[in-house]
Amino acid sequence: MKSCFKWNILRFVVIFIYSFLFLVGLEYTAFKDIEPVVTWFKEYPLYFILTAVAISFLFFAFTALCNFFVGSLLTGILAWVFGMVNYFKYSMRKDFVTGDDIYNFFHGNLEFSNSDIDYSKHLFYFLGAYIFLTLISFFINKGFNSARDFKYRWYMRTIGMFVGVLLTASTCLIVYFQENMKDFIEGSEYIGGKYGLILGYIPSNTMPHMVISKDYKPLLNKDYVRKGHDKIEGNVDKSKTNAFIKPNVIVIMSESLYDTDHFDNVKCDTDPLNNIHEIQSKYGGGSIEVDIFGGGTANTEWEFLTGMGHKYFSSNLMYYKYGDGSVEHKSMVSYMKDMGYHTVAIHPYKGSFFNRIDTYKSMGFDETYFRENMTHTKELFDVNISDYALTDEIIEKYENVNASSDAPFFNFSISVGSHKPCLDYDEGKPYEYKEHLNVLPKEGNFDTTSSRDLKRYYNAVYEADEAFKELCDYFANVSEPTVIMMFGDHAPPLMDETYADATIKDLSDEELYETPVVCYNNYGLDKFEVNRINANYLTTEFFKYLDFPLPKALIYNDNLMKYWYQCNNKKVVKDKDGNDIIKMSKEMMKLEKATLSLYQGELRNKESLKDIWDYKE
């Protein structure tokens, strides 16, 4: 009996040690360095220990159902596979795998080509350690005489497994409420240092609705006074303008559009963003701080169209929760329709991707076009429909609306020309595109991968730049007032080594998460200026620029900018004067909870918030 007790104690000790090592290993593989893991343990010991305990309980559940060796084997496989995937995602997107990534994977929305995978020796270090520990577990299991485990009836083993799973879930909830909820009330340095298996598997928008606050009402109900336009200029029909101008509005979210000036170790024949820089200097623009890196286009899109900050939600999942096509949800789209606009969405890829076909229907677009029903799909940049083709599609849709209706035209488009060639990689298409630029290093040499990927990226954004100029040139000769804005969704998904080759000076988080904004108009508006504001604030600033009456949703964001934050996302938090916020005050924490509660109310179509996007003359 004493021997059995000793072996049980030994098993629990070894289970915890295993869990601890697996936890360290899966983070080590992502970082390729042990120092961040040590920092994690020093700064957040409670979270670290609770995470290890949760893995221990899961290990216990496997062991109760089978035996110690099988429990070790299953837990080790889970940890190594998760560590490997974590490493791949961190290498490309400076972010960790989340429960939402798993959700999206099973919905077919995470696709990677072989070029995305760069195997690291650290993965095999961890694999070697895992095999060694599994062998030890085999001998421990043998010494314990695992036959005793099976003397228990099957229902006893099943009960043991369920107890282990229940303990795992309970510990995860503790981790969630003790640690994950701080996403919404702590500064960016805390958020940036927090990662791990447990929080990885919990989608961060599964339970935030349990935060209840009505403190958003004062900022929601403050008045906003329009400035009014002083003059109308340009080649426009003056009879179609009045005190409240409703110009044609075209917004393009450009895939991976990033200011190549950040790559200070790259030289080429000409500035790939030459036209954009010229239009910015004459008509305006600036930059925004997005919440994603290297991927997750739908998240920046979500922020712009809804005015909600992605910081408070998880990757891409919102497009599945927000719209199934059967219920209308208020957004920028419904607001533009209420103003009398004919609304058109264009995305040159399949409509099922991130559920856009249903989400756009829920948002209320009059017309939606995807690869399946677009007219201009033949002109490609390697495997992707080119930005030139998108420009032709936008012009065609404008001309169709203009010929059949007096309604002003609103278009929201997403380009895919600069997207990595992984959307249709399974079709076996090669990397083929017209080379406009010669891309070389200023210092040293590029390795093969960096040379290939930088050359492709620079030529892709060159075409995005030229296509944008073509669109502006077309509307310069249109008699109706028109505004065209384009902004980037995130930085390009290049490998860490490629970013290292392309830069002499290391890029800060502000620079890595900064994307350009450019704005053109054909009727004499003042320059549009934004400087590193949140992506969801961009809608507010754009509406103010157009002198549109602000709905309550944008009044709230306007007041956030005016009194609290210039920028507030997962990586960059700045106060209204642009100073870094390291630790939030109690008032800011209270405001964070209020903002989260407001957004959750919008998502649930809360009765008191149904007018939040209403248009009022």
Which of 422, 420, 417 lies closest to 389, judged by CA? 417
Q: Which residues contact 320 (CB under 8 A, 6 or more apart)?
A: 103, 107, 354, 355
Residue 541 tokens, joined: 């600033």
pLDDT, residue 185, reads 40
Low-confidence ranges of the chain (pLDDT < 50): 1-2, 113-114, 116, 146-147, 150, 179-181, 183-212, 229-232, 238-242, 425-426
Residue 518 to residue 530: CA distance in whole angstroms: 10
Residue 575 to residue 592: CA distance in whole angstroms: 13
Residue 599 to residue 609: CA distance in whole angstroms: 10
166 phi-psi bin (left φ>0, alpha ψ -120 to 50, beta other): alpha
The residue assigned the tokens 């320059």 is: 527
Q: Which residues contact 396 (CB under 8 A, 6 or more apart)?
A: 375, 376
- Cβ contact 416:384 at 8 Å: yes
Which of 325, 324, 329, 370 lies closest to 347, judged by CA? 370
pLDDT, residue 205, reads 39
Question: Using one digit for the tens of pLDDT, what is the confidence trace for 60-118?
Answer: 777 766 777 777 777 777 766 666 666 666 665 556 565 556 555 555 555 554 454 55
- Cβ contact 314:100 at 8 Å: yes
Residue 409 to residue 223: CA distance in whole angstroms: 28
Residue 432 to residue 382: CA distance in whole angstroms: 4
CB neighbour burial string for 491-525, b if at least 16 within 10 angstroms, e if fewer: bbbbbeebbebbeeeebebebbbbbbbbbbbbbeb
Residue 309 to residue 568: CA distance in whole angstroms: 8
Which of 388, 393, 302, 289 lies closest to 346, judged by CA? 393
Write 163-169 long-range contacts (CB < 8 A, 24+): 163/60, 163/61, 163/64, 164/57, 164/58, 164/59, 164/60, 164/61, 164/62, 164/63, 164/64, 165/57, 165/58, 165/61, 167/57, 167/60, 167/61, 168/54, 168/55, 168/57, 168/58, 168/61
Pairing mode, strands 528-534 and 284-289: parallel
The residue assigned the tokens 């939030």 is: 584
pLDDT, residue 592, reads 78
Give all strands (DSSP E) within 354-508, no chain letters: 367-369, 380-381, 384-385, 409-414, 439-441, 482-488
- Max CA distance (Å), the chain: 97
Q: Which residues contact 288 (CB under 8 A, 6 or more apart)?
A: 487, 514, 515, 517, 530, 532, 533, 534, 535, 537, 538
Q: What are the chain's domains?
A: 2-204 (no CATH), 252-582 (3.40.720.10)
pLDDT, residue 242, reads 44
Neighbours of 17 (CB within 10 A): 14
pLDDT, residue 19, reads 65
CA angle 490, 496, 497 (to 5 degrees): 135
Question: Using one digit for the tens of pLDDT, what is the confidence trace for 189-244?
Answer: 433 444 444 444 443 433 344 444 566 666 766 665 555 544 445 555 544 444 57
Residues in the chain, overall count: 617
Q: What is the DSSP letter of 575?
A: E
Burial of 3 (0-12, 13-18, 19+ CB in 10 A): exposed
Q: What is the DSSP letter of 574?
A: E
- Cβ contact 553:602 at 8 Å: yes
Supply φ then ψ for residue 126, to 5 degrees.
-65, -40
End-to-end alpha-carbon separation of the chain, Å? 83
pLDDT, residue 71, reads 74
